[in-house]
Amino acid sequence: MTSTRRRLIPYGLLGPGAIWLALFFIVPMYFMGELALRTGTFTTGFQSGFEISNFSDALSGNTEQFVRSFIYAGSATLIALAIAYPLAYAIALRAGRWKLLLLFAVVAPFFTTYLIRTIAWKTILADESPFVSLLQTLHLVPEDGRVLATGGAVVAGLTYNFLPFMILPIYASLERIDTSLIEAGKDLYASSTQTFLRVTLPITMPGIVAGVLLTFIPAVGDYINAEILGGTGTSMIGNVIQSLYLEQRNYPEAAALSFTMMAAILVVVIVYLRMAGTGAFMGDEDERD
């Protein structure tokens, strides 16, 4: 094999996917950017232009929803992490022969449509449901309080729907742990808490980082949970974009808002990766090569 051919191989392998993503991701993004700068209304048509004010309008009118989206998505991500880590740990290191079965149980919700699951939650969380009565008896919810149609229900829905995205990467990172390392850690640090903090946690950090991002990002942009489980005053930025697109047909502002959201998410991701101190957003396990 000649060296030129060899050098061309990766491009050949990469080609189809790269072209697909360029055509159907990058180009659409360009169109969206172009749309975001147009002026006019639906009835008069949108003329191309350089209407930067679409961006300031998008931001200034919806600060509250922006903040709320990040708070909801952030809370859902933290709760998901708290549930996912022990679960993934148990599946990867303690489940034995049940491992695959449990793993399947985790992915199973994917196979009953998103909307059906969310509507099912609406039944479970209904005001007069046994579950909510239980919460009321335990004084976790005030006697005349409710769960459905509150921000809490939206966070619960987000947590549930994106949990598999948290579990799978953490599971993958735990699965690859060499258990002798943990044994060594036990000898070294004696306490299992110490072992966990100094050995297990650092090794699984890439999985956590990936899981957090894969949960947080779709959660910020979600609007279905807020629409089905939320009430008044629980709208997220996705609801606003949907309303701008479909109800108000203000395509430029919808596009501008979408762009602003993406930029905000990227900023959060950058800050987060700085703090997490690892560049392990997806597949950077090769760092340890």
Q: Which of residues 90-149 bind another protein (CB under 8 A)?
A: 90-91, 94-95, 100-102, 104-117, 119-124, 126-129, 146, 148-149
Token readout for 121 is: 């939650």
**Type of residue found at 265:** I
Q: Does residue 202 interact with another protein by CB under 8 A?
A: no
65: how many CB neighbours lie within 10 A of its CB? 20
Decide if 110 contacts 165 (C-beta within 8 A): no
Could you tell me the smallest distance in angstroms from the CB atom of residue 204 to another protein?
Answer: 13
Neighbouring residues of 25: CB distance < 8 A, sequence distance ≥ 6: none
143 or 286: CB nearest another protein? 286
SS3 41: strand
User: Restricting to residues 39-98, which ones interact with another protein according to CB under 8 A?
Assistant: 40-48, 50, 61, 64-65, 83, 86-87, 89-91, 94-95
| Dihedral, 218, 223, 224, 228 alpha carbons, nearest 10 | 140
Site for another protein in 160-199 (CB under 8 A): 160, 163, 172, 176
CB of 152 to another protein, least distance (A): 14
Under rule CB under 8 A, how many of the chain's residues touch another protein? 138
Q: Looking at 7-15, 134-142, 196-204, which segment touches another protein (CB under 8 A)?
A: 7-15
203 lies in the binding site for another protein (CB under 8 A): no
Minimum Å distance from CB 225 to another protein?
11
Within 10 angstroms of residue 152's Cβ, the number of other Cβ atoms is 19
Residue 24 binds another protein, judged by CB under 8 A: yes
Q: Which two tokens stand for residue 27?
A: 């180009």
Q: Looking at this protein, which amino acid is placed at residue 111?
A: F
